[in-house]
A = this chain, B = another copy of it.
Amino acid sequence: MNNHISKKLGMKPGAVVYVGKKRDDAVTIDAISYTNDEETIHTNLTVSDALGLLSNDRICWININGIHNSEIIKQFGVALEIHDLSLEDIANSRQRPKLDEDKNSIFIVSKMLSGSETSTKIKVEQVSILFGKNWVLTFQEEDGDVFDYVRKRLINTKPRIRFLNPDYLAYALLDAIVDHYFIVLEKLGEDIESLDEEVTENPSPEQLNDIRVLKKQLVQLRKSVWPLREVVSSFDRTESDLVHKVTKPYIRDLYEHVIQVIDTVETYRDLVAGLLDLYHTGISNRMNEVMKTLTIFASIFIPLGFLAGVYGMNFDTSVSPLNLPELGFEYGYIMFWSLAVCIGGGLLLFFRKKNWF
């Protein structure tokens, strides 16, 4: 889980240290700089390029893919007067979702989830969103994100009245993240439903593992989404000038989406707990069936075996007519079988009446 956190041990607070797995690939920076009716798209920027794009006339969204180069983070930090502790949080990919207000910027950490159609694994990536008066900064752990729809809307919408507020852009990014939670939840819901059917039909130990995987994914989701509730709520309640009144209804709408995600996660947790119950009940039912089978066979044939044993005894019939006289009867064998069938049939009827089969 936190198996690299020891890296940070002994660092001063505010130290910008990447705690994830070691990576060598370069950090890429791209940006969209726009006014109400025109935009420029920049890719493969250096930090100074990116900072050079900032101007009072334009809004600039700078996206940084990769948080394993702390120098880059620090350079942005110095240029945009971001608090040391925020810079530390950007680099620490195990940061809990949070919102911090500073004088000139608002800093949001959230978790971006993405699941693939083919695999059951959910990918979690940390996204830090910062915005100031005329800029938005996003830090992601890796290339590839859920913001493509936002980019398209940003470029296509004209006039871009709402997008001239960086808070609206930040909202739109968060909204895109939360929308993807629904996608992940949809996939999970289908998995739960199909597992539910399987367990009902034929409980087998392999399903236990599937249940455990689902459980862990829900734990992960919970850890991402519960703190997000607080984040969005702070975003709504903030009195900072950076968040405009016109954006507030959108943030409240986002808040409701987060609540809906939480509701669904909690419902799914209940369903998964129910799956485990179902599994256990299935096992019990089957055990019951096994025991009934054993009892029916044993209770019928053990007494019959005793009966056959009796007539296999070697008491000396010549000594006394009282010793095993049945052996000398003309219909002895037939009587034996009749008795055996009566006993067996009687027991079967008895078990039948008890509803055992």
Task: List A residues at the B interface (Cβ < 8 Å).
Answer: 1-3, 5-6, 8-14, 83, 85, 88, 96, 98, 100, 148-149, 152-153, 157, 172, 175-176, 179-180, 182-183, 185-186, 189-190, 193, 200, 202, 205, 208-209, 212, 215, 219, 223, 249-250, 253-254, 256, 259-260, 263-264, 267, 270-271, 274, 276-281, 283-295, 297-299, 301-306, 308-316, 319-320, 322-324, 326-334, 336, 354-356
Contacts and interface: CB of A to CB of B under 8 A. Distances in A.
Contacts of A205: 285
A219 B259 CA distance: 16
A42 to B, nearest CB: 23
Given A13-B250, A287-B288, A322-B330, 12 more contacts: A1-B193, A3-B186, A6-B186, A13-B172, A83-B249, A96-B259, A280-B281, A288-B290, A301-B305, A308-B309, A313-B333, A315-B333
A354 B320 CA distance: 41
A203 to B, nearest CB: 10
Nearest to A186: B2
Given A283-B285, A320-B330, A331-B320, A202 B5 contact: no
Contacts of A83: 249
A303 B312 contact: no
A339 to B, nearest CB: 12
A356 B182 CA distance: 40
Contacts of A354: 289
Nearest to A270: B219
Copies of this protein in the assembly total: 5
B302 A182 contact: no
9 contacts: A1-B185, A2-B186, A297-B302, A298-B298, A302-B302, A309-B309, A316-B332, A320-B329, A324-B333
A282 to B, nearest CB: 8
A309 B276 CA distance: 46
Contacts of A179: 8-10
Given A13-B172, A186-B6, A309 B319 contact: no
B330 A319 contact: yes
Contacts of A148: 10
Contacts of A312: 308-309, 312-314
Contacts of A189: 1-3
Contact of A303 (B10, B297, B315): B297
Contacts of A336: 310, 313, 315
Nearest to A204: B355
Given A2-B182, A219-B270, A299 B309 contact: no
Contacts of A355: 202
A337 to B, nearest CB: 8
